[in-house]
Amino acid sequence: MRSRTVALAARDSLDARVVVIGDDCVAPLLRDRGLRFTLTGTEDEAAEAALDANPDIVFFDALALDGAIFHRLRTGRTAVGLSPVFTHLRDLDLAFHRTRELSHELQAVDRAGRLRAGLEYAVVRPGCEPIASDAFDRAVSAERLSLAISMGGGDAGNLTLESLRAVAEVERPLLIWCLLGEGYGHCYNQLAAVAASARHEIVLAKTSDSMWRILSQCALAVLAGGTVTYEAARAGLPAINLFPIAEHRFLARELIELGAARECAPDRLAALVAELERDRDRLRAMRERCASLLDGQGAERIVRETIAHHQSRTRAAAHAAA
């Protein structure tokens, strides 16, 4: 979703093409949006597809990539990073990061002058808009609090099931939207079994573009500390963040310190949800702290600054050659 949002923002100023390593579940996210895309099954196939386009700029948005393939793709081109946990961060010409909280690797990139970091670079999909005040007031004042669980497109560790089981233990009745990403491949029957035995109303839904139509009706979200956490801040939706990888807490620490979000260990989730359900004013306060943190223009800002950086490098190279 982050890659797609940046590619959409680039359409007017760049000949943007998207190369994806993934299966067919990704295609609906890219089809019929005016984007040229290629779906590949391996890193080698992705490299060949990207090189066939003979790009001037390559955006990398991945966790890891084979070193030889990475260097093939970046040689002679401007290499730009969108992922804050990419294995080749130090070898990029420019990296973007959605918060001023930095990992050890990002600190090294920053010292080299190749990092642009801050809330202004948070990528927010076009369908995520601020939730209207009256809509949030209805959600937060309802007798049965509406809560959403969303753990991203794939959720490799099945944090969705763990979170649903935890929230199902809350005493007071809830309306729980359990949102499954397009790549969710775990056993649906296990989720259904929790829903069938719980005292709460639980809706299991597979979503992508319609996700924010559902989230905009909720008063609280349980998230995994990724891009949707920043979308929640943009929308003004209070969020509890779980971090399956402890080292990734820095990804949402700024929002948590600003009071716009919370973090929680999975075994404390039920207790925290129960506390917030009893004290709705805390949810209202979290929403207020979200106000004006993000302007929703992160993708456009990334594209503009990438083009300026690339042009600067090109001029410098031409001057050196002359």
Tell me the pLDDT of the chain averaged across its residues: 94
Same domain, 190 and 236: yes
Q: What is the pTM of this model?
A: 0.93
pLDDT at residue 140 in the model? 98
Same domain, 178 and 249: yes
Q: In what order do the strands lie in the sheet with 57-60?
A: 57-60, 78-81, 94-97, 115-117
Cβ contact 200:145 at 8 Å:
no
Same domain, 85 and 59: yes
Range of the domain at 216: 133-290
Same domain, 153 and 259: yes
Beta bridge partners of 140: none
How many domains, the chain?
Answer: 2
DSSP conformation letters of 29-73 = HHTTTT-EEEEESSHHHHHHHHHHT--SEEEE--S---HHHHHHH
pLDDT at residue 28 in the model? 85
Same domain, 178 and 76: no
Same domain, 232 and 314: no
Burial class (CB in 10 A: 0-12, 13-18, 19+), 320: exposed
Same domain, 112 and 243: no
Cβ contact 232:131 at 8 Å:
no
What distance in Å separates the CA atoms of residue 161 and residue 183, rounded to the nearest whole number? 15
pLDDT at residue 221 in the model? 98
pLDDT at residue 101 in the model? 96
Same domain, 252 and 108: no
Instruction: Give the CATH number, domain containing residue 241.
Output: 3.40.50.2000
Same domain, 272 and 309: no
What distance in Å separates the CA atoms of residue 13 and residue 291, rounded to the nearest whole number? 30
Same domain, 89 and 178: no
pLDDT at residue 25 in the model? 80
Cβ contact 64:21 at 8 Å:
no
Of 80, 144, 181, the closest CA to residue 280 belongs to 144
Same domain, 286 and 137: yes
Q: What is the mean pLDDT of each run of 10 residues along the chain (322 residues)?
A: 95 94 86 92 96 96 96 97 97 98 97 98 94 97 96 81 95 95 82 93 88 95 94 97 89 96 95 98 98 96 98 90 82
Same domain, 109 and 200: no
Instruction: Give the CATH number, domain containing residue 31.
Output: 3.40.50
List, for residues 2-28, the tens digit of each pLDDT value: 999 999 999 999 999 999 998 888 888
